[in-house]
Structure 1
Amino acid sequence: MTLIDANLVFTDVDVEDKVALIDFLADKLYENGNVKITFQEAVEKREQKYPTGLPTGAIQVAIPHTDAKYVNKSVIAFANLKHPIEFQNMAINGETLKVSVVVMLAIAEPHGQVKTLEKLMSIFQDEKLLVSLSSEKDSKKIYQKLVKLL
């Protein structure tokens, strides 16, 4: 079972800030039937308390998510951004990162998040791969890469 859905891979997403981005991705997940209507607000609240920005080198990443109780079906939404937006660093309190790639997790099994995060971390640690994912304009090509990796 793949966690990637071709309908949830977005390129050149043009948003002003992380709230707009979270709203955009959460709406797409909801329209696809993957999450409950309460998912978006839950992700925003969790992001304020537990930031998800990752300092991954040249291309910064964020992985906003929330608890399994807000999810109907496990899936990942992927977005590369037209221009970087600010997310707080998950490791350093108060530090802001300019994020270019966002992977929103909607994981229905509480223990499924750990395995998914481990797979994603191996992608995020490969700077060459991250650069190719962030600069790709064809969502089908990104989808095909992610299916192989996850």
Structure 2
Amino acid sequence: MKIENITTVPQILGYQISGTSRDDVLQEMADYLASKGMVKSTYGQAVIDRENIYPTGICTEPIAVAIPHCERDGVIKTAILVGQTKGSGITFQRIDDTELMVDAKVVFMLAVDTNQGQLEVISKLMDVIQDEKVIEAIANADTCEKIREIMTDAFVMR
């Protein structure tokens, strides 16, 4: 499938996370997106607030992921920031059972500027995160550019 055949192709960025707590990581990732002109400076707190109400940790095997995002108000340009954690991951509440936690090693921060676009991006992203090889490759990538390449290839092929 060629990129021009996809109606929503967000900017995809790779990122190596340095924070160790959920809120620190969400703010760190949002600040990075803000530095790239993708979101407003208020985006980080908005993502944290939404995550407190609607958790996004997903217990995929063998590597758990999270898909934090919020409403489009803080979005300037559609993007997916693919964050790779080191160590055991970042603890998120699970999307399917908020009483349970998951240690996400890959965090997909979404910044989507339209409601329809968000549904489309999340749908494609759900296909991507079900591919064990893609998630393992992202988790083991050596550079931010490699993370971006892996994710871009996987996203475009969906």
Please say if 1:3 is aligned against 2:10. yes
Query: Structure 1 vs Structure 2: percent identity of aligned residues?
Result: 31
| Equivalent in the alignment of 2:3 | none
Is 2:14–2:146's contact at 8 Å kept on the other side of the alignment? no
Give the number of the structure whose residues are more often strand, by fraction: 1
Is 1:34–1:72's contact at 8 Å kept on the other side of the alignment? yes
Could you list the structure 1 runs, at least 4 aligned residues long, displaced by more than 4 angstroms after superposition.
none
C-alpha deviation, 1:2, in angstroms: 3.5
Please say if 1:90 is aligned against 2:90. no
Please say if 1:26 is aligned against 2:30. yes
Instruction: Specify whether residues 128 and 148 from structure 1 end up closer, same or farther in structure 2 by C-alpha distance, changes over 3 A only.
Output: closer
Q: Distance in 2 between matches of 1:98 and 1:141?
A: 22
C-alpha deviation, 1:145, in angstroms: 2.0
Number of residue pairs aligned between Structure 1 and Structure 2 = 147
| Equivalent in the alignment of 1:101 | 106
| Equivalent in the alignment of 2:5 | none
C-alpha deviation, 1:62, in angstroms: 0.3
SS in 2 for 1:10: strand
Structure 2, gaps ≥5 residues long: 1-7
Is 1:3–1:75's contact at 8 Å kept on the other side of the alignment? yes
Please say if 1:57 is aligned against 2:66. no
Is 2:134–2:150's contact at 8 Å kept on the other side of the alignment? no
Match of 1:141 among 133, 138, 146: 146
SS in 1 for 2:98: coil
Please say if 1:69 is aligned against 2:73. yes
C-alpha deviation, 1:117, in angstroms: 0.8
Q: Distance in 1 between matches of 2:153 and 2:48?
A: 30
Match of 1:48 among 45, 52, 56: 52
Structure 1, gaps ≥5 residues long: none
| Equivalent in the alignment of 1:35 | 39
Q: Distance in 1 between matches of 2:136 and 2:107?
A: 13
Match of 1:131 among 122, 136, 149: 136
- Code of the residue aligned with 1:72 in structure 2: it is I
92-101 vs 136-145, greater mean Cα deviation:
136-145
TM (norm. structure 1) is: 0.92
C-alpha deviation, 1:24, in angstroms: 0.6
